[in-house]
Amino acid sequence: MEIYGIDHVEMYVGDARQAAFYLAHAFGLQVHGQGGPDTGLPDQRSLLLRQDAVQIVLTTGLVADHPAAAYVQRHGDGVAIVGMEVDDATAAYGELVARGAVGLKEPERFEAGESVVITAEVAGFGDVIHRLVERHGPRHEFLPGRIQLTAPSGVPDEKLFSEIDHLAICVPSGELEPTAKFYEDVFGFPRIFEEYIEVAGQGMDSKVVQSPSKHVTFTLIEPDLSRRPGQINDFLTWHAGAGVQHIALRTSNIVEAVSTLSDRGVNFLGTPSTYYDALAERVGEVDTPIEELQQRGILVDRDHWGQLLQIFTESMHVRRTLFLEIIERRGAMTFGSGNIKALYEAKERELAHDA
């Protein structure tokens, strides 16, 4: 079983058109297709958004008992399906079920012309599903016969983002180790990093699991209940259980991306000016002038391989759950653990402002 990378994420949302408008006009993702009862997807409406290798499907249930409607009722808008591209969906499904995954949907074949897509589904964490996707032929087709492709619409194709770098996932206390072990034993994702972090009396444990291809990465986080409750606890309460806290979008020019998004009204978590006072001493020389980074609130970290630049948006949801990360890797292969304290302090300020 070869897992190549994140093929797409599917979000269940209360209003797919409204969510698409925000992602298209603020983040530059273009609408490339749609599906619904008229295309063989009963009781739902779905929109396909793309930018380079980033693919996000937005789905709204049209009836109360549709899975998307039930998900939104319980969790609010959020990531419900993480699609992974595999070499053989049928074999991967059988292998994962044999290793202990719960099978949800057996392999199904979709084709149009020379495009063939085979999918299968297994349970992941919480209410999140993993969709196995095998693709053959022209790759512009997403799900032949179910998602009807349309002329791209939205802002001009800017290619601010190239791929989904990783997903950050919050799990209830006591579930971190079993979840990491699940991905290690069932999916074959080794643990590549783990850390305990304390911020302002709050505590959290984290473990990072990654596919052998290095293109599927999950940062798993659980709160330390012996410490003061904080934003991880809030996420788990407001989201009603485990879920994707943020999606990290990879960019090759974070300064340009942040400037563009800011001009379009995207709000980012603030960074205290004191963060930059000794930045050069902590991470070494940065190619981008520190004044530019400070002006935009961009964080910088370093690991053995290079530097990492990142910034986090405010949540766009009323429950203050899911948000986005913009990340530029200048050789770095880890996840900015040195910036986590700054992130959580900023998130605390955002939540305090909403209170």
Closest CA relative to residue 276, chosen from 254, 295, 251: 295
Instruction: Enter the tokens of residue 352.
Output: 């305090």
Cα separation, 50 vs 151, whole angstroms: 12
Closest CA relative to residue 335, chosen from 312, 309, 297: 309
Per the CB < 8 A criterion, the answer to whether 307 and 330 are in contact is: yes
Closest CA relative to residue 89, chosen from 132, 129, 131: 132
Closest CA relative to residue 347, chosen from 296, 319, 312: 312
Closest CA relative to residue 51, chosen from 12, 25, 16, 84: 25
Annotated binding-site residue? 325: yes
Cα separation, 135 vs 117, whole angstroms: 5
Give the Cα-Cα-Cα angle 240, 43, 72 (nearest 5 degrees): 15
Q: Could you say which DSSP state residue 313 is in?
A: B
Q: Please give the C-alpha separations between residue 270 and each of 170, 296, 310, 340, 349, in angstroms, as whole numbers.
A: 22, 9, 12, 13, 8
What SS3 class is residue 207?
strand
- Residue 301, beta-bridge partner list: 308
Beta strands in the chain (DSSP E): 3-12, 30-35, 44-51, 54-61, 78-86, 103-112, 115-123, 129-136, 148-153, 163-170, 191-199, 202-210, 217-223, 243-250, 299-302, 307-312, 323-330
Bridging pattern class, strands 78-86 and 307-312: unpaired
Cα separation, 245 vs 79, whole angstroms: 9
Cα separation, 122 vs 108, whole angstroms: 13
Please enumerate, by residue number, every residue annotated as part of a binding site. Answer: 166, 246, 325
Please enumerate, by residue number, every residue annotated as part of a binding site for Fe cation. Answer: 166, 246, 325
